[in-house]
């Protein structure tokens, strides 16, 4: 595809950012610049207090399992709620600082809902949603931008966003072609089926993964929580 | 005994004959070499500099202003120039023990080269390592290792999740770990729904949760080992990459310095250290660059990389290989300036230091050469003297901060390796200081075996006058002053004699002569003359004296206004004019004093009123006791001493010491005993011994001039004059006004050998010499004295008899 054939990068008026913790994605600034050729979009941050997690914590037999030490301990819903409040406050402060530095408009809300439902709802509000991982890897992200998309319109827009981000940030771009009924002929890119996407998302190293909303709809229902599905932030493009 | 005649005017001053000065002006003369009149000191100094033996350090002693320091500097500069340059010294990090920096000895001039080479090497190696770690190849290799681990983790977790899904359990992340939630119809089961389930179903869920927990636990138990193994692989990769990046650069550096043993050995250690500290090359300013305060928190200069701090070279002493051995003149030899110091940098309230903050002291700079210091300054600095001795004794310089010596600070500090010391120390001081050190410090003679003694005077001769002229020529040239004609030089030579109060000697205190020359040059320029004449020198001397004459004038004024009573005419029994010298600063002046004596019947005691009132010193008391010895031996014979006498310096309110008035007091006492009046137009100075011989005293010129000034103010009568010991005639260098008055017969200076001569001059009566029977001729002073003493003795005997009669 020649440069002149590059599809335009979508310029949504609003970017929704879902958060499960206080840490903001490292690439958020770059993303705002890329999507804001006509002026930075408004940033709408939604801090998710995952209702499923709170429910699970209320079960009589619930225990918390520490992966690092393999230790178990009784879970305390009140402690989890207090932790979420602190995280939300800190996330709000971080956003305020970012907004002050970059001059963007922003708003912040806390929602108690299932994580997947929040993302689904967000996609009805705007053309681009950023899902921040519940625990973004603290190891240096040595990879670049990953894009998994098919040939539909959303997939094309997702590829445009990924390409623009990679160019702007001088990062390598790894593109995966989603196999579906419309895919035909020899592929220049590696291909992946929708079933294999969860495993691909979990692979470490990427700084950001761009997906079309159409792919998210097709993901296995087992991916209840997109925030847990990838160590890198996800950008979902409608 | 013959009464001495007044001295002829030509004996009162020793002019410098112009024929001794074979030049017209000093411009014709070449510069005089060395200090004036110090042949012995020069010989000692040259010996001391040449001899290279332990303890043969030099003590150059002499009066200030004798040119000691400048001559020492000249000699050392000349000798040092022909000697090999001293080694450079550097402090570097000791990689095994950073608290004990290592000292490197390098050829002269090599220190800075090594520092530059190492700095460049660090820059290069940082760039090379940074490039190696930033390469795609490295990133890929590292990513592969990390991905392998993460994928193992992901796979293990995926297996657990699959098992959980099979059992209807969802694994959810919590802030502290994971929690297992049962799923029913795709929804997480809440507590209310759970309670509604049949007990059997509840148990099944609980069991499923328990099973998933166990599976997860099993899956996670190898994580630490896998993580450790992965990290070790990354470290090994890093080591290989770093080693490959630095190997060639290290090899180049060590090859360049392989012939310099200290540098080569340290660079080998640096090479080994780099292999285990490549991280500081990879992250020159630390890994947390977003935290700027941390960059400097380890004590380095802002912007300086960690590698530069660890591997830098602190050039302590750098010598120019072409300039010979170092000669250091330390003007302020305090402890730190002598031995060096360890500085600190303040960082956020903490004081930090390292080898790069070690600073050299004078001993380091002088190592391999010469160190010149003023002894007085050295001794007045706490710890400096003992520290210097310790360095000379151990043959090394060890920097120990003073706070550690005091034991005030217990924090860990640096202990720099001692540096071997090979230095010749030259101390400059006064003779008093030298003898005090020699007396009080038993180690002093071991460390300062060579003494170069600068004398304060030298013999006055034609050759000395020419040498003196050479020194003046050099001074005028160095200071761009006009030359002196030979009459002016002659006057300066004469003044140099007057300075030491000896017309047969010249003062070597050249600084005072130079001061006169500078001022004379000023007056010559004012006259618009390009040559300094005798009149300029005269004027300089006169005005200098006048500027400092306030106190002298005040004292003389008190005499002239009869506040202090000094008679300069008439006669009186038991009263005489004595002479003393007061010294304020460098301007002594003479002052006459009235001395009186009263006698009465007594037990032979002479009461020194000054002593009794604690105003007289021990030397003065000794002089008075000598009087008693003289009188008893000469007059009392076999009679008991039956008189009492009191002696006093009238209107004297300060302390009196010295025996220069003892002959004066004797004349006064004899006048009182003989009841013969003394001429008040005369003043007397001179000490006396028990045989009545008059002996030399100091300050003769000022004493004469002091009395002359009073007489001249009142009007010279032709009767006035001064009696001086004959031994002092050779010291006379009187002012022209005095000489002129003497030549005109209006003032007289009498040289006296014996008190009898003085008595005749003072009383106008013959003193009288005893015959073989011990009887003095009639109508002589001594006869009158003898008669009076006999009368006192008889009177006393009479009283004794009367007392015995009344008692019986």
**What average pLDDT does range A225-233 have in this prediction?**
79
pLDDT tens digits along B88-144: 999 999 999 989 999 999 999 999 999 999 999 999 999 998 888 888 888 888 878
Residues of A in contact with B180 (CB under 8 A): 56, 62-63, 65
> How confident is the prediction for chain B on average, in pLDDT?
88
pLDDT at residue B540 is higher than 50:
yes
Whole-number Cα distances in Å, B413 to A228, B261, B336, B400: 52, 28, 16, 10
pLDDT at residue B293 is higher than 50:
no
pLDDT value of residue A68: 66
pLDDT band at A41 (very low <50, low <70, confident <90, very high): confident
User: DSSP character for B693?
Assistant: B
Question: A138 — contact with chain B (CB < 8 Å)?
Answer: no
| Beta carbons of B221 and A50 less than 8 Å apart | no
**What average pLDDT does range B188-214 have in this prediction?**
88
pLDDT band at B396 (very low <50, low <70, confident <90, very high): very high
User: Token digits for B306?
Assistant: 């960690």
- Name which of B141, B172, B234 to mutate to probe chain A: the one with the most chain A Cβ atoms within 10 A of its Cβ: B172
User: B758: buried, middle or exposed (CB in 10 Å: 19+, 13-18, 0-12)?
Assistant: buried
Determine what percent of chain B is predicted with pLDDT higher than 90.
Answer: 52
pLDDT value of residue A142: 62
pLDDT value of residue A90: 92
Angle between helices B486-499 and B462-478 (to 10 degrees): 110
pLDDT at residue B288 is higher than 90:
no
pLDDT value of residue B360: 96
Residues of B in contact with A58 (CB under 8 A): 190-191
Report d(CA B595, CA B575) in Å as an integer: 6
Residues of A in contact with B181 (CB under 8 A): 52-53, 55-56, 59
pLDDT band at A7 (very low <50, low <70, confident <90, very high): confident
- Name which of B163, B175, B182, B206 to mutate to probe chain A: the one with the most chain A Cβ atoms within 10 A of its Cβ: B175
Report d(CA B427, CA B449) in Å as an integer: 12
pLDDT value of residue B275: 82
pLDDT value of residue B287: 52
Q: DSSP E strands: which ranges in chain A?
A: 14-19, 42-50, 63-65, 72-74, 106-113, 128-131, 145-149, 173-178, 191-192, 208-212, 234-237
pLDDT at residue A38 is higher than 70:
no
pLDDT at residue A175 is higher than 60:
yes
| Beta carbons of A225 and B172 less than 8 Å apart | yes
pLDDT value of residue B285: 61
pLDDT value of residue A129: 92
pLDDT tens digits along B583-622: 777 778 898 999 999 988 887 777 776 676 666 677 777 7
Residues of B in contact with A87 (CB under 8 A): 175
CB B318 within 8 A of CB B111: yes
CB B21 within 8 A of CB B423: no
pLDDT value of residue B294: 42
| Beta carbons of A142 and B139 less than 8 Å apart | yes
Residues 6+ apart with CB under 8 A from A178: A148, A149, A150, A155, A191, A192, A193, A194, A197, A215
CB B307 within 8 A of CB B122: yes
pLDDT at residue B430 is higher than 50:
yes
**Residue among B150, B174, B209 whose CB faces A61 most closely:** B209
**What average pLDDT does range B732-754 have in this prediction?**
95
pLDDT band at A223 (very low <50, low <70, confident <90, very high): low
CA distance B282 to chain A (A): 15
pLDDT band at A215 (very low <50, low <70, confident <90, very high): confident
Question: A66 — contact with chain B (CB < 8 Å)?
Answer: yes
pLDDT band at B295 (very low <50, low <70, confident <90, very high): very low
Report d(CA B219, CA B171) in Å as an integer: 14
pLDDT tens digits along B546-566: 888 888 888 889 999 989 899
**What average pLDDT does range B402-407 have in this prediction?**
76
> How confident is the prediction for chain A on average, in pLDDT?
82
**Residue among A59, A65, A199 whose CB faces B178 most closely:** A65
pLDDT value of residue B677: 96
pLDDT at residue B286 is higher than 60:
no
A64-78, A141-155, B376-390, B585-599 — which is least confidently predicted?
A: A64-78
User: B355: buried, middle or exposed (CB in 10 Å: 19+, 13-18, 0-12)?
Assistant: buried
pLDDT at residue B491 is higher than 90:
yes
User: DSSP character for A21?
Assistant: S
pLDDT value of residue A4: 45
- Chain B interface with A: residues with Cβ < 8 Å: 139, 142-143, 146-147, 150-151, 154, 158, 161, 165, 170, 172-182, 186, 188-191, 194, 205-206, 209, 213, 216-217, 220-221, 223
pLDDT band at B741 (very low <50, low <70, confident <90, very high): very high
pLDDT tens digits along B49-81: 888 888 899 999 988 877 788 888 988 998 999
- Kindly state the helix (H) or strand (E) to which residue B200 belongs, with its residue range: helix B199-220
CA distance A68 to chain B (A): 8
pLDDT at residue A138 is higher than 60:
no
User: Token digits for B807?
Assistant: 């008692």
pLDDT value of residue B417: 95
Residues of B in contact with A139 (CB under 8 A): 146
Most confidently modeled of B28-37, B238-247, B751-760, B768-777?
B751-760
Question: A222 — contact with chain B (CB < 8 Å)?
Answer: yes
pLDDT at residue A44 is higher than 70:
yes
**Residue among A61, A63, A204 whose CB faces B150 most closely:** A204
User: Token digits for B138?
Assistant: 């490295």
Residues of B in contact with A135 (CB under 8 A): 173
**What average pLDDT does range B452-480 have in this prediction?**
89
pLDDT value of residue B369: 95
CA distance B122 to chain A (A): 26
pLDDT tens digits along B374-384: 999 999 999 99
pTM: 0.64
């Amino acid at each position: 595809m020649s440069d002149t054939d590059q599809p335009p990068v979508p310029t949504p008026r609003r970017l929704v950012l879902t958060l499960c913790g206080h840490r903001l994605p490292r690439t958020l600034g770059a993303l705002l610049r890329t999507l804001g050729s006509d002026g930075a979009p408004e940033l709408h941050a939604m801090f998710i207090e995952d209702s499923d997690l709170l429910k699970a914590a209320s079960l009589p037999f619930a225990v918390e399992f520490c992966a690092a030490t393999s230790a178990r301990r009784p879970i305390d819903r009140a402690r989890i709620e207090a932790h979420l409040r602190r995280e939300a406050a800190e996330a709000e402060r971080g956003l305020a600082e970012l907004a002050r530095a970059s001059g963007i408009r922003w708003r912040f809300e806390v929602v108690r809902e299932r994580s997947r439902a929040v993302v689904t709802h967000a996609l009805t509000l705007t053309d681009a949603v950023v899902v921040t991982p519940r625990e973004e890897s603290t190891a240096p992200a040595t990879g670049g931008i990953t894009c998994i998309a098919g040939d539909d319109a959303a997939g094309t827009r997702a590829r445009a966003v990924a390409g623009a981000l990679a160019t702007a940030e001088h990062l390598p771009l790894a593109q995966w072609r989603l196999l579906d009924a419309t895919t035909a002929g020899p592929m220049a890119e590696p291909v992946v089926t929708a079933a294999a996407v969860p495993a691909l998302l979990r692979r470490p190293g990427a700084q950001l993964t761009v997906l079309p909303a159409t792919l998210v709809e097709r993901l296995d229902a087992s991916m209840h929580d997109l925030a847990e599905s990838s160590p890198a932030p996800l950008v979902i493009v409608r | 005994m013959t009464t001495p005649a007044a001295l002829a005017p030509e004996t009162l001053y020793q002019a410098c004959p112009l024929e001794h000065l074979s030049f017209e002006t000093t411009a014709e003369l070449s510069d005089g070499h060395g200090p004036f009149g110090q042949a012995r000191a020069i010989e000692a100094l040259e010996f001391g500099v040449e001899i290279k033996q332990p303890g043969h350090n030099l003590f150059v002693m002499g009066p200030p202003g004798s040119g000691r320091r400048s001559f020492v500097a000249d000699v050392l500069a000349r000798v040092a120039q022909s000697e090999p340059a001293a080694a450079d010294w550097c402090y570097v990090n000791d990689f095994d023990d950073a608290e004990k920096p290592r000292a490197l000895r390098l050829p002269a001039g090599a220190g800075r080269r090594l520092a530059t080479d190492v700095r460049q090497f660090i820059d290069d190696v940082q760039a090379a390592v940074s490039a190696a770690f930033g390469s795609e190849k490295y990133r890929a290799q590292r990513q592969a290792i990390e991905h392998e681990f993460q994928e193992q983790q992901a796979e293990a977790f995926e297996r657990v999740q699959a098992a959980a899904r099979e059992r209807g359990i969802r694994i959810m992340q919590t802030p502290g770990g994971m929690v297992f939630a049962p799923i029913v119809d795709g929804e997480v089961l809440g507590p209310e729904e759970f309670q509604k389930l049949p007990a059997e179903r509840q148990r099944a869920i609980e069991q499923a949760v328990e099973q998933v927990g166990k599976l997860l636990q099993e899956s996670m138990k190898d994580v630490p080992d896998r993580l450790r193994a992965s990290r070790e692989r990354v470290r090994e990769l890093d080591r290989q990459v770093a080693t490959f990046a630095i190997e060639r650069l290290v090899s180049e550096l060590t090859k360049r310095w392989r012939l310099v043993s200290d540098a080569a050995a340290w660079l080998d250690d640096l090479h080994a250290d780099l292999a285990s500290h490549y991280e500081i090359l990879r992250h020159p300013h630390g890994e947390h660059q977003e935290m700027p305060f941390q960059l400097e928190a380890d004590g380095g200069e802002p912007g300086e990389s960690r590698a530069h701090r660890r591997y830098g070279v602190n050039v302590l002493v750098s010598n120019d290989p072409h300039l010979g051995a170092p000669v250091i003149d330390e003007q302020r030899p305090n402890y730190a300036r002598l031995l060096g110091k360890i500085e600190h940098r303040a960082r956020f309230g903490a004081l930090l230091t390292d080898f790069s903050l070690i600073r050299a002291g004078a001993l380091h700079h002088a190592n391999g050469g010469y160190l010149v210091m003023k002894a007085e300054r050295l001794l007045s600095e706490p710890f400096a003297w003992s520290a210097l001795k310790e360095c000379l004794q151990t043959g090394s310089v060890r920097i120990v901060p003073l706070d550690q010596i005091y034991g005030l600070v217990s924090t860990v500090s640096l202990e720099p390796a001692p540096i071997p010391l090979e230095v010749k120390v030259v101390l400059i001081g006064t003779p008093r200081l030298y003898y005090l050190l020699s007396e009080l410090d038993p180690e002093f003679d071991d460390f300062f075996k060579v003494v170069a003694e600068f004398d304060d005077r030298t013999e006055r001769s034609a050759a000395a006058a020419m040498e003196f002229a050479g020194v003046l020529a050099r001074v005028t040239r160095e200071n761009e002053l006009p030359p002196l004609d030979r009459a002016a030089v002659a006057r300066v030579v004469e003044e140099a004699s007057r300075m030491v109060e000896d017309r047969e000697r010249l003062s070597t205190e050249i600084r005072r002569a130079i001061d006169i020359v500078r001022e004379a040059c000023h007056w010559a320029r004012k006259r618009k003359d390009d040559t300094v004449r005798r009149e300029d020198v005269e004027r300089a001397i006169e005005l200098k004296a006048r500027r400092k004459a306030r106190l002298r004038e005040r004292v003389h004024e008190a005499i002239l206004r009869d506040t202090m009573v000094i008679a300069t005419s008439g006669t009186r029994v038991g009263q005489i004019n004595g002479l003393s010298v007061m010294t304020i600063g460098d301007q002594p002046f003479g002052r006459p004093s009235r001395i009186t004596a009263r006698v009465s019947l007594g037990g032979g005691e002479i009461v020194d009123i000054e002593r009794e009132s604690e105003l007289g010193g021990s030397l003065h008391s000794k002089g008075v006791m000598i009087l008693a010895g003289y009188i008893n031996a000469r007059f009392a014979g076999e009679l008991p001493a039956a008189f009492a006498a009191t002696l006093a310096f009238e209107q004297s309110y300060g302390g009196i010491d010295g025996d220069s008035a003892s002959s004066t007091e004797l004349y006064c006492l004899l006048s009182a005993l003989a009841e013969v009046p003394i001429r008040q137009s005369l003043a007397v100075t001179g000490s006396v011994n028990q045989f009545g011989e008059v002996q030399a005293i100091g300050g003769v010129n000022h004493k004469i001039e002091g009395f002359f000034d009073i007489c001249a103010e009142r009007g010279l009568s032709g009767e006035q004059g001064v009696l001086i010991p004959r031994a002092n005639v050779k010291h006379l260098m009187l002012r022209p006004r005095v000489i002129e008055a003497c030549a005109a017969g209006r003032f007289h200076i009498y040289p006296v050998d014996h008190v009898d001569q003085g008595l005749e001059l003072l009383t106008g009566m013959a003193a009288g010499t005893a015959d073989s029977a011990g009887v003095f001729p009639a109508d002589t002073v001594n006869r009158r004295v003898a008669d009076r003493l006999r009368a006192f003795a008889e009177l006393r005997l009479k009283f004794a008899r009367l007392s015995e009669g009344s008692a019986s």
